[in-house]
Amino acid sequence: MDKIYSVTVSIIAFVVLSFISTTNALSAPINSNVALPVRQGGFVFRSQVKWLRATDDPTSLNREVNVVAVPNVLVYGATPDLALFAIFPYIFRQVEFTDAASEQRINKNENGIGDLTLLARYTIYARDYPSGTFRIAPLAGIKIPTGDDDLEPITTDSIDLQFGGVSTITWDFGRHEIDADVIYRINTEAKSFESGDDLTYDLAYEFRLYPWTLPDVGTPNFIYLVAEANGIYSQKGKLGSETIDDSGGHTLFLSPGLQFATRRYILESSIQLPAIQDLNGGQVKTDFILTAGFRVNLP
Amino acid sequence: MLKNLIYIVALTFTQLVSFQPLFAQINSVEMQVDGMTCPFCVYGIEKKLEALKEVEDASANLKTGTVDIALNENEQIDIERLNKAVHESGFTPGKMKINATGRLTTYELEGKENPAFKVTGSGQVFLLTGAPDHGTEEPLKQKKLEGPKNASGNGSDEFTITGYIHSQPSRVPPVLSIESFEVK
Which one of A123, A132, A297 has the shortest CB-CB distance to B44?
A297
Find which of A51-65, A92-106, B59-73 is predicted with most confidence, using mean pLDDT. B59-73
According to the model, what pLDDT value does residue B137 have?
46
Summarize the confidence of residues A108-118 as an average pLDDT: 90
CA end-to-end span of chain B, whole Å? 46
A261 to chain B, any CB pair closer than 8 A? The answer is yes
Least Cα distance to A220 among B43, B58, B86, B62 occurs for B62
In this prediction, residues A89-98 reach a mean pLDDT of 89
pLDDT for B51 equals 95
* Average pLDDT rounded to a whole number, residues A111-131: 93
pLDDT band at A262 (very low <50, low <70, confident <90, very high): very high
Interface contact flag, B65 A214, Cβ < 8 Å: no
How confident is the prediction along chain B (184 residues), in pLDDT tens digits per residue?
555 555 555 544 444 433 334 445 888 999 999 999 899 999 999 999 999 999 999 999 999 999 999 998 888 899 999 999 999 999 999 999 999 999 988 888 888 888 899 998 888 999 987 444 444 445 445 545 555 555 544 556 788 899 999 888 778 899 999 888 888 7
Q: Are B38 and A77 in contact (CB < 8 Å)?
A: no
Residue of A123, A128, A170 best to disrupt the B interface, most CBs of B under 10 A? A128
CB A74, CB A85: distance < 8 Å: yes
Chain B contacts of A27, Cβ < 8 Å? 37-38, 40-41
The DSSP code for B138 is: -
Those residues whose C-beta lies under 8 Å from the C-beta of residue B161, and which sit 6 or more positions away, are: B99, B100, B101, B102, B117, B148, B176, B178, B180, B181
Residue A103: is it exposed, middle or buried by C-beta count within 10 angstroms (0-12/13-18/19+)?
A: exposed
* Cα separations in angstroms, B35 against A133, A165, A225, B91: 5, 20, 21, 6
Which among A38, A219, A262 is the nearest to B60, CB-wise? A219
- The separation between CA B134 and the C-alpha centre of its own chain, rounded to angstroms, equals 17
Angstroms from B179 CA to nearest CA on chain A: 21
Torsion angle in degrees (nearest 10) through CA of B115, B116, B120, B122: -150
- Measured between its terminal Cα atoms, the distance across chain A in Å is 50
Between chains, do B39 and A177 touch, taking CB under 8 Å as contact?
Answer: no
Q: What distance in Å separates the CA atoms of residue B117 and residue B114, rounded to the nearest whole number?
A: 10
B94–A39 CB contact, under 8 Å: no
**Residues 6 or more apart whose Cβ sits within 8 Å of residue A207:** A175, A176, A224, A225, A226, A227
Q: How far apart are CA A39 and CA A126, in angstroms?
A: 14
Which range among A54-63, A228-237, B79-88 shows the weakest confidence by mean pLDDT? Answer: A54-63
Helix, strand, or coil here: A15?
helix
Angle among Cα A163, A164, A165 to the nearest 5 degrees reads 145
Inspect the interface and report whether the beta carbons of A173 and B44 lie closer than 8 Å: no
pLDDT for res A195: 84
Other CB atoms within a 10 A radius of the CB of residue B165 amount to 22
Mutate to test the interface with B, among A38, A39, A82, A171 (most CBs of B within 10 A): A39
pLDDT for residue A218 is more than 80: yes
Comparing A114 with B129, the larger pLDDT belongs to A114
Q: Does A212 touch chain B (CB under 8 A)?
A: no
The closest CB to that of B37, out of A42, A123, A132, belongs to: A132
Q: How far is residue B92's CA from residue B45's CA, in Å, rounded to a whole number? A: 10
- In chain B, residues with a C-beta closer than 8 Å to the C-beta of A26 are 38, 40-41
Across residues A116-134, what is the average pLDDT? 94
pLDDT at A59: 83
Residue B65 sits at φ, ψ, to 5 deg, of 65, 35
Average pLDDT over every residue of A123-127 = 96
How much is the pLDDT for B3? 58
The Cα of A22 is separated from the nearest Cα of chain B by a number of Å equal to 18
> Taking all residues of chain A, what is their mean pLDDT, rounded to a whole number?
88
- Chain B residues close to A299, C-beta within 8 Å: 47
- Is the confidence at residue A37, as pLDDT, over 50? yes
Nearest to B43 among A123, A131, A297 (CB): A297
pLDDT of residue A260: 96
Q: Assign 3-class secondary structure to A27-85.
A: CCCCCCCCCCCCCCCCEEEEEEEEEEEEEECCCCCCCEEEEEEEEEEEEEECCCCEEEE
Tell me how many residue pairs between chain A and chain B have CB atoms under 8 A apart. Answer: 115
Nearest CB neighbour to A42, from listed B32, B44, B65 = B44
B162 bridge partner residues: B99, B180
pLDDT for A253 equals 94
pLDDT at A170 over 90: yes
Whether residues B38 and A295 touch (CB distance < 8 A) is answered with: no
Contact between B37 and A40 using a beta-carbon 8 Å cutoff:
no
Contact B90 A38 (CB under 8 A): yes
pLDDT the model gives residue A295: 93
| pLDDT over 70 at A201, yes or no | yes
Is the pLDDT assigned to residue A12 strictly greater than 80? Answer: no
Amino acid at A196: G
CB interface of A with B, residues 129-188, below 8 Å: 129-133, 170-171, 173-174, 177
Residue B41 C-alpha, separation from nearest chain A C-alpha, in angstroms: 7
Torsion over CA: A25, A27, A33, A34 (sign): negative
Contacts of A174 in chain B (CB under 8 A): 37-38, 62
- Please determine, for residue A17, whether its predicted confidence score (pLDDT) is greater than 80: no
